[in-house]
Amino acid sequence: MVDLVTFGETMLRLSPPGQERVETADQYDVHVAGAESNVAVAAQRLGLDSTWVSKLPDSPPGRKVATELRSHGVDTDVVWDDADTGRVGTYYLEQGDVPRGNDVIYDRSGASVTTATVDELPTGLLEETAAFHTSGITPALSERLEATTADLLAAADEAGATTSLDVNYRSKLWTPAEAAEVLTDLFPNVDVLLTAKRDAENLFGLSGPASEMAVELTDEYGFDVTVVTQGAEGAVAATPDEQFDRPAYEASDAHPVGSGDSFVGGFLSQYVEGAPIPRALSWGAATAALKRSVPGDIAVLSSDEVERVMQGDSTEIDR
Amino acid sequence: MVDLVTFGETMLRLSPPGQERVETADQYDVHVAGAESNVAVAAQRLGLDSTWVSKLPDSPPGRKVATELRSHGVDTDVVWDDADTGRVGTYYLEQGDVPRGNDVIYDRSGASVTTATVDELPTGLLEETAAFHTSGITPALSERLEATTADLLAAADEAGATTSLDVNYRSKLWTPAEAAEVLTDLFPNVDVLLTAKRDAENLFGLSGPASEMAVELTDEYGFDVTVVTQGAEGAVAATPDEQFDRPAYEASDAHPVGSGDSFVGGFLSQYVEGAPIPRALSWGAATAALKRSVPGDIAVLSSDEVERVMQGDSTEIDR
Amino acid sequence: MVDLVTFGETMLRLSPPGQERVETADQYDVHVAGAESNVAVAAQRLGLDSTWVSKLPDSPPGRKVATELRSHGVDTDVVWDDADTGRVGTYYLEQGDVPRGNDVIYDRSGASVTTATVDELPTGLLEETAAFHTSGITPALSERLEATTADLLAAADEAGATTSLDVNYRSKLWTPAEAAEVLTDLFPNVDVLLTAKRDAENLFGLSGPASEMAVELTDEYGFDVTVVTQGAEGAVAATPDEQFDRPAYEASDAHPVGSGDSFVGGFLSQYVEGAPIPRALSWGAATAALKRSVPGDIAVLSSDEVERVMQGDSTEIDR
Amino acid sequence: MVDLVTFGETMLRLSPPGQERVETADQYDVHVAGAESNVAVAAQRLGLDSTWVSKLPDSPPGRKVATELRSHGVDTDVVWDDADTGRVGTYYLEQGDVPRGNDVIYDRSGASVTTATVDELPTGLLEETAAFHTSGITPALSERLEATTADLLAAADEAGATTSLDVNYRSKLWTPAEAAEVLTDLFPNVDVLLTAKRDAENLFGLSGPASEMAVELTDEYGFDVTVVTQGAEGAVAATPDEQFDRPAYEASDAHPVGSGDSFVGGFLSQYVEGAPIPRALSWGAATAALKRSVPGDIAVLSSDEVERVMQGDSTEIDR
Amino acid sequence: MVDLVTFGETMLRLSPPGQERVETADQYDVHVAGAESNVAVAAQRLGLDSTWVSKLPDSPPGRKVATELRSHGVDTDVVWDDADTGRVGTYYLEQGDVPRGNDVIYDRSGASVTTATVDELPTGLLEETAAFHTSGITPALSERLEATTADLLAAADEAGATTSLDVNYRSKLWTPAEAAEVLTDLFPNVDVLLTAKRDAENLFGLSGPASEMAVELTDEYGFDVTVVTQGAEGAVAATPDEQFDRPAYEASDAHPVGSGDSFVGGFLSQYVEGAPIPRALSWGAATAALKRSVPGDIAVLSSDEVERVMQGDSTEIDR
Amino acid sequence: MVDLVTFGETMLRLSPPGQERVETADQYDVHVAGAESNVAVAAQRLGLDSTWVSKLPDSPPGRKVATELRSHGVDTDVVWDDADTGRVGTYYLEQGDVPRGNDVIYDRSGASVTTATVDELPTGLLEETAAFHTSGITPALSERLEATTADLLAAADEAGATTSLDVNYRSKLWTPAEAAEVLTDLFPNVDVLLTAKRDAENLFGLSGPASEMAVELTDEYGFDVTVVTQGAEGAVAATPDEQFDRPAYEASDAHPVGSGDSFVGGFLSQYVEGAPIPRALSWGAATAALKRSVPGDIAVLSSDEVERVMQGDSTEIDR
């Protein structure tokens, strides 16, 4: 038995050091980056026994993804694609202060994972896991993956796993209308929905305070719990019976990429273990806050650190 | 025909990484840096067909300057000096947070450009350009260059080009009185004057609000337009008939060096094309703001980005 | 009029520093790399006025290619593809000492250039150039490019330009038989053929000494000249009337990638100017030898250095 | 005669670049770091002729400590321990933005200095110095060093040197009660006590404003002067007759490690020369503020810079 | 069931980049390095399911060791020591060309692993593994570890695992006589002995050709097989009945550290699977040769690459 | 009393990492480099108490020179020039494998040291030193320095110090005829002449074997000893009565710059102490050989290492 299985695409992120630009930099930092593997790493580091399932080319860049994830203790159950015809998706990340901001340039089309079928994936794992997680990015990547995502959620649901979906809308992959149509089709097999407030507005036409959105989504789609995150304003959740509200922790703006996934990983690390929702929300918020001080997409952190943030420990040097 | 010709010294800037100190660093980042070539690059990237004219030694450090400028699309029309007797000026830049601040140590005396004469420079270009630009640094570098700058401005004015001068006072090169005397001698051949408010005070004894200074300078010297910049408080301009005022855009403090030149490049990219002055001021301000997030002296940016700043687009990651 | 137009794909090369491995490195050095742009840069640096024609996405990685080539003085005449749907091909290069050797992993399929048609390319340039060059890689990249390459060679030939083709067989792109079939179809419009001895064997079934191969190819396909390179053993050439043989210069093994293209650039820099073939062969050999001491794919060097190698100047420090 | 002798442990500090983590970084920046050598360097750079006394292994890491200190002009009078059996203590420093903060992991037990006896140390120096300084870290490192520290303070006091002690409580080395007991035993031979307000509370059970603490300590232990520092709120001092209060200077948060030692070095650079206490406090505060913009533990700065901070010079670029 | 369990110390290796010196470098590359974990990684990468057993402090440097090993697929079964009182051993490696050579400075005394007892280690694993491996370094580290090593070998032998010992004499840890005494006491529980020829001479007083040494050791101590390695001259092996001899593969001198461990890992990857000894020797030799082109202590390589070396494939770029 | 005083120019050397080119590199490594300070550092590290005398601007780049030299234990007795008008000479070093070789581009004209007069220099030191050393570079730098060098040699000779001169001909500074004329004027005050064989040929018209040259120079100019170095072929020496010949030690070609100065430093470290000439030659040769494995201009090494080279110790890792 494992605690958590996640499925999705993981890419190599190529980012010029500091505030350098892609056009003029001579070196790129390389990070392993994928919404669902980010969740798996955060959850694993916070105590869940996690496995990441995907498809990668059997080449050095492909193996790099698995090597990095394994280093954090995540099990990787990968279908190995042909080294010459497959590819790992990449993305370029430019980081810049105000008013430039961060810029993402995807080069992910045709990645091996976009051809993954439910038949070749290790679906047996779904029988042995407490929870299954994916994000709205996955079905957006190819028609094949749209079907595969649906099949996996159905199989996990059927097997009794807690299923969770992070909406994670990506405007460079599809329109809000396309996303809404595909995702709502998946909702019957989803137990836990997580969404940014902004996505709830754009995709599902909701408005008003986040707490109302959470209630509406829970009511309309019958989720066990809906979590709506709103950045520095914290996160709310609604079950069929209750509502919860937790503030965000103060955090740097240095490394925001991946903090949303860290929230999910932190939340699931508690929720899957049966912790009360307010506690799960706090773990999500503290994990996300910590991530913002860690370069790369991945939450290199520990339970101790998360607890220290929740206790409001000062950041003075302890020596 | 080209749109813009600029003339001046370009140096190699040697700066320890991050906040390291010149005295103890083991590596220096190398950037190509010169007020007038900075203007040419910004203008070229924002749409003007630009040429930079200067004199450099025919050695690897000399060629480095031309190589870098060409990469941004600027044409380089360079008089090549003897590799052994000529030199490229350099300057050391130390970057430090408050209260240390940034420190500049010049090592520019004797650079090849200080020997440039109007006879050896490609003055034919002045017949074929819409605009000619230089800064108050150039005549400060040597007596020879004082004469050459005067000759070039006169020739450009004669040929019907729009001539612009950025006052750019450098206290390590001359006194305010020396600067004022030399520059006012150049003013009869200058159409567009750009100056920091601080320089207008120190050199020309002006006081009061920037807008009044602009009016006074335009009135006294007969400029087509005078632009007075005042950092975070924005910029003003005065023509013989009108006055304009534009705020600055919010910007990081990370890489301020070169933002003044970026303002000029942004302003000229519109002014030379005949755009209204308020629009040119806004382009100047947005280009300067963006530059502050880009390492080095040079504005590695695009028209799209400038327009996004002017539209006040959020700096959230677009993905 | 320009001296040389080249056409082909240029990629971003991602290589871990030193002998690090792709799987475990945290940073990749980024180089701009393409057989035909390598030729254009070498030729430009050695005196030919060169233009590189291709298709790139209008994105930071796409612009990076043009920015780098321009820095070396090459004109870039690029069709700009959509930033979101186009892509720049990349390849990973691992460098390792004996017995590991160097390893190349291509990630180039679907690059914008593979969709380039003769109609969108600036074919007018072919009317104004002394020479046109491409390599056997180009028609291997897509069916579309097979047709486009044929059309460009035909148009250049028709316009009276000297046309040259470097066989440059890539086993990861096609089989020898496929390559032979496509390339021989192009030969009627090729004036100068350059090939590695190994490719002459594998593709055209030739054997025996390189000099015989050169004669056979010239005789069979009617080339003005055929050049057969054999690495450290030098290069030979055959015209319909004469044969030539030149040794290689002693060279480091540090940075071999791109040295073949440097040979072509060095050869063409003389041949296009009408120099005798032995001189062109020597320039090719010296340029290739020098390239092997320069990191990256591109021959950052000068005519002076090439001449010094041909004169057998010692490598003692000159100071 | 020298102006200042300091005694204590100096370590190699290993810190991942930027905000990287020890667990995942591939490189560590190496800095030489020790409370008392930090004081010696700051004092030397601000004009005192300083000598650092300690014990190090005669190995490359041991010599690295002396090499670095000498570079700043500090004389090093070191007992050289066996290269194979001795060691240099190290510590790992992780730097992270809010909410992570900085983290210190000591690996200093068993360092050569912990075996230093008064007999092997160059105690003759104490006869020839105007001042002697150590910190509360030193007697915490080993029983041997507890005795050695007491002996040195007694000898220095006896020889007529001004003796100073910076409390510098380290919770990873001992408890407040242990520290208080050992340090108060040293107080009879201490002329100048410096302590953080927080340490005054934890170790000596004081409360109320810092100024009262300074008075109480001076009164109870008979110090010539007690200095109590309170970070951004400035520092206070009390002599038997007078009290002084000086604000802190605005400073970056970039490199706080070592700023406390810089305060001491700045203070002593004036106090030892007989300057009035308010002036010494200001020098301490300005030195500490400047240090916060300098990477590493060591105050790479000059008297000119300290004076500029005290004069409130702007941090605008001077060029 | 696992295929291989190894036990020993793993350190952090701190090495200045390139040929820099420890005394003057500002950065150290950090590598995870330990004879037995090196063996586990090589074996795992070549197909054996491997677990590394040890004791580490539960601190960032301690976790770094496990994180790195896990990334290569090795299971880590670690006793976690107290973060404050435990430590990870380190060593400094200086790399220099002739005549300087490489230099190792150990700082490993007092590491957490030196306190490991058989009671706290996961000895249950020995019941479930096909093979157990350690090296002569382990019992040299402390008296405690001398006992623990003996206990583990006895337990593994008892449980029916194939036990192997690499002599790996370290002159900085003990004398040849001490080593010989302790190791020969372990031999009754050792099935496979691996030793450098030089160690066989110094510790066991053998002379003559390596093949005779292998026979003598096998005969005297009753090993199933003795392997004697002799660097560039290859390796020999002797079973009670047969002798084998295999040459080394040509290899770079760039990264020799860890190549001996790679030999053992390559050898065991075959031997444990029941392959014939000549094949195991060849795998050992090819793995060691490849390692020499890989920075760090760890054999980042694959079975494919090992096979390519054994087939004598050229190191020409395959593209 | 000190053992050795040296006088000359020390520059900042700017070199692109590895084999990168000045024209395209983004970072330069910075090293402190000067013939006479190189000698002082080598001699100091090998046991002589050494002082380097020169003139530098009181600016960060100027102080960097002194900071680096002090770190190696050399005393720096520097006349501090005005920070704004003075400068530190620099040179660019490009390092390239065969056939490119290393290339030096000087930017040293106008350095502060070129204005140094004997009146401002600390000539009192010459009364208290056992030896004084300079090189033929110094009088080549300016007419002022030609006089100053002559004055210093005369004063040192007068004071009874052993005076030594390394010919060190630099073709970028003067012609052989100019050098010969100036240097022979200095010879009456020189006790020890060191020269490369190549310089002996070019400047003094000598031919034949090095040993004959040494004899001729000693005879003609009355030196106590003349040393003629011939790179990999070793070095010879002649006193009025005897001749000596010592081979070079095998050495890498990695970092040749500064190895000649290291020879001098190694030789003087023995000669000044009264060691026999063959021993001094061997120390020179071993120091030079070791230097070739150390990046930068400076011999970061120890007496132990020099002795190990002379004993022919293997370069196997000692661990």
CA distance E32 to E12: 5
> Catalytic site residue A261?
yes
Q: What is the model's pLDDT at position A319?
A: 79
Model confidence pLDDT, tens digit, residues F208-227: 999 999 999 999 999 999 99
CA distance F136 to E99: 29
Q: What is the model's pLDDT at position A316?
A: 67
- Domain extent, residue A261, equals 2-8+35-54+120-311
Q: Residue C34 pLDDT > 80, yes or no?
A: yes
Question: Does the beta-carbon distance from B254 to A97 stay under 8 Å?
Answer: yes
Q: Residue B317 pLDDT > 80, yes or no?
A: no
Q: What is the model's pLDDT at position C318?
A: 74
- Binning pLDDT at 50, 70 and 90, where does residue D286 land? very high
Question: Does the beta-carbon distance from A71 to E71 stay under 8 Å?
Answer: yes
Q: What is the model's pLDDT at position F1?
A: 85
H/E element, F115: none
Q: How far is CA D105 from CA A86, E78, E87, F54, in A?
A: 43, 20, 10, 44
Model confidence pLDDT, tens digit, residues F86-113: 999 999 999 999 999 999 999 999 999 9
- Binning pLDDT at 50, 70 and 90, where does residue B1 land? confident
This complex has an ipTM of 0.95
User: What is the mean predicted confidence (pLDDT) over E26-42?
Assistant: 98
Question: Does the beta-carbon distance from C26 to A23 stay under 8 Å?
Answer: no
- Binning pLDDT at 50, 70 and 90, where does residue F319 land? confident
Model confidence pLDDT, tens digit, residues C156-190: 999 999 999 999 999 999 999 999 999 999 999 99
Question: Would you say B279 and B303 are in contact if contact means Cβ atoms under 8 Å apart?
Answer: no
* Residue D248 CB neighbour total at 10 angstroms: 18
- Omega before D247 within 30 of 0, i.e. cis: no
Residue C17 in any domain: the answer is no
Q: What is the model's pLDDT at position E319?
A: 79
Give the bridge partners for D280, in sequence order.
Answer: none
Q: What is the model's pLDDT at position D241?
A: 97
User: Taking a contact as any Cβ pair under 8 Å apart, which residues of chain E between 74 and 103 contact chain F?
Assistant: 96-103
Q: What is the mean pLDDT of chain D?
A: 97
DSSP E254: S
**Under 8 Å CB-to-CB from F80, ≥6 apart: which residues?**
F55, F56, F57, F58, F62
Residue D61 in any domain: the answer is no
Burial of C201 (0-12, 13-18, 19+ CB in 10 A): middle
Q: Residue A37 pLDDT > 70, yes or no?
A: yes
- Binning pLDDT at 50, 70 and 90, where does residue F316 land? low
User: What is the mean predicted confidence (pLDDT) over F124-141?
Assistant: 98
- Binning pLDDT at 50, 70 and 90, where does residue C239 land? very high
CA torsion angle C136 C142 C143 C147 (round to 10): -50
Catalytic position from the list A3, A166, A261, A297: A261
- Omega before F139 within 30 of 0, i.e. cis: no
Q: What is the model's pLDDT at position D313?
A: 72
Q: What is the model's pLDDT at position C278?
A: 98
DSSP F290: H
Q: What is the model's pLDDT at position F317?
A: 73
Q: Residue B149 pLDDT > 80, yes or no?
A: yes
Q: Residue B318 pLDDT > 90, yes or no?
A: no
Q: What is the model's pLDDT at position B132?
A: 98
Residue A19 in any domain: the answer is no
Q: Which of B24, B97, B257 sits opposite D300 (nearest CB)?
A: B24
Maximum CA pair distance of chain E? 55
What's the start-to-end Cα distance of chain A, in Å? 40
CA distance B160 to B131: 8
Burial of A274 (0-12, 13-18, 19+ CB in 10 A): exposed
Question: Would you say A69 and A76 are in contact if contact means Cβ atoms under 8 Å apart?
Answer: yes
Q: What is the model's pLDDT at position E306?
A: 97
Residue B76 in any domain: the answer is no
Give me A120's structure tokens: 């070749």
Model confidence pLDDT, tens digit, residues A66-90: 999 999 999 999 999 999 999 999 9
Give me E149's structure tokens: 């090593």
The chain C residue lying nearest A23, using CA atoms, is: C64
Which residues of chain C have a CB within 8 Å of the CB of E316?
101
**Under 8 Å CB-to-CB from A239, ≥6 apart: which residues?**
A218, A224, A225, A277
Q: What is the model's pLDDT at position D315?
A: 62
Give me B149's structure tokens: 């700058």
Q: What is the model's pLDDT at position E229?
A: 98
* Residue E187 CB neighbour total at 10 angstroms: 15
Model confidence pLDDT, tens digit, residues F6-48: 999 999 999 999 999 999 999 999 999 999 999 999 999 999 9
Q: Residue C288 pLDDT > 80, yes or no?
A: yes
Our CA-based measurement puts residue E252 at a distance from the nearest CA of chain C, in whole angstroms, of: 5
Please, what is the Cα angle at E207 between E202 and E212, to 5 degrees? 120
Burial of A159 (0-12, 13-18, 19+ CB in 10 A): middle
- Binning pLDDT at 50, 70 and 90, where does residue D167 land? very high
**Under 8 Å CB-to-CB from C136, ≥6 apart: which residues?**
C165, C166, C167, C168, C169, C170, C179, C183
Question: Would you say F223 and F183 are in contact if contact means Cβ atoms under 8 Å apart?
Answer: no
Give me A234's structure tokens: 């914290």
Give me B172's structure tokens: 């390590």
User: What is the mean predicted confidence (pLDDT) over B72-101?
Assistant: 97
CA distance A217 to A223: 8
Determine phi and psi for F259, rounding to 5 degrees: -70, -30
Q: What is the mean pLDDT of chain C?
A: 97
Give me F9's structure tokens: 């120019």
- Binning pLDDT at 50, 70 and 90, where does residue C315 land? low
Give the bridge partners for B76, in sequence order.
Answer: B52
Residue C126 in any domain: the answer is yes
Which residues of chain F have a CB within 8 Å of the CB of C319?
104, 106, 170-172
Catalytic position from the list B81, B191, B261, B297: B261
Q: What is the model's pLDDT at position F318?
A: 73
Q: Residue B316 pLDDT > 70, yes or no?
A: no
Pairing of strands B2-7, B50-57: parallel
Q: Which amino acid is at D162?
A: T
User: What is the mean predicted confidence (pLDDT) over E285-304?
Assistant: 97
User: What is the mean predicted confidence (pLDDT) over A205-227?
Assistant: 98
Q: Residue E246 pLDDT > 70, yes or no?
A: yes
CATH number of the domain bearing residue F196: 3.40.1190.20
User: What is the mean predicted confidence (pLDDT) over B180-189?
Assistant: 98
Q: Which of C61, C94, C109 sits opposite A22 (nearest CB)?
A: C61
Three-state secondary structure along chain A? CEEEEEECCCEEEEECCCCCCCCCCCEEEEEEECHHHHHHHHHHHCCCCEEEEEEEECCHHHHHHHHHHHHCCCEEEEEEECCCCCCCCEEEEECCCCCCCCEEEEECCCCHHHHCCCCCCCHHHHHHEEEEEEECCHHHCCHHHHHHHHHHHHHHHHCCCEEEEECCCCCCCCCHHHHHHHHHHHHHHCCEEEEEHHHHHHHHCCCCCHHHHHHHHHHHHCCCEEEEECHHHCEEEECCCCEEEECCCCCCCCCCCCHHHHHHHHHHHHHCCCCCHHHHHHHHHHHHHHHCCCCCCCCCCCHHHHHHHHCCCCCCCEC
Strands (DSSP E) along chain B, which ranges?
Answer: 2-7, 11-15, 27-33, 50-57, 75-81, 90-94, 103-107, 129-135, 162-166, 192-196, 225-229, 235-238, 243-246
- Omega before A99 within 30 of 0, i.e. cis: yes
- Binning pLDDT at 50, 70 and 90, where does residue A1 land? confident
Mutation site for A-interface testing, chosen from D91, D97, D170, D174 by largest number of A Cβ within 10 Å:
D97
User: Taking a contact as any Cβ pair under 8 Å apart, which residues of chain D between 141 and 170 contact chain A?
Assistant: 170
Q: What is the mean pLDDT of chain B?
A: 97
User: What is the mean predicted confidence (pLDDT) over C7-30?
Assistant: 98
Residues in chain D: 319
Residue D30 in any domain: the answer is no
Q: What is the model's pLDDT at position F315?
A: 62
Question: Does the beta-carbon distance from E27 to D24 stay under 8 Å?
Answer: no
Our CA-based measurement puts residue C231 at a distance from the nearest CA of chain E, in whole angstroms, of: 12
Q: Residue D189 pLDDT > 70, yes or no?
A: yes
Is residue A304 less than 8 Å (CB to CB) from chain D? no
The chain D residue lying nearest F67, using CA atoms, is: D71
Residue B104 in any domain: the answer is no
Q: What is the model's pLDDT at position B314?
A: 62
Q: What is the model's pLDDT at position C314?
A: 62
Percent share of chain C, pLDDT over 90: 97
User: What is the mean predicted confidence (pLDDT) over E108-122?
Assistant: 97
How many domains would you assign to chain F? 1
Residue F112 in any domain: the answer is no
- Distance between alpha carbon C133 and the CA centroid of its chain, in Å? 8
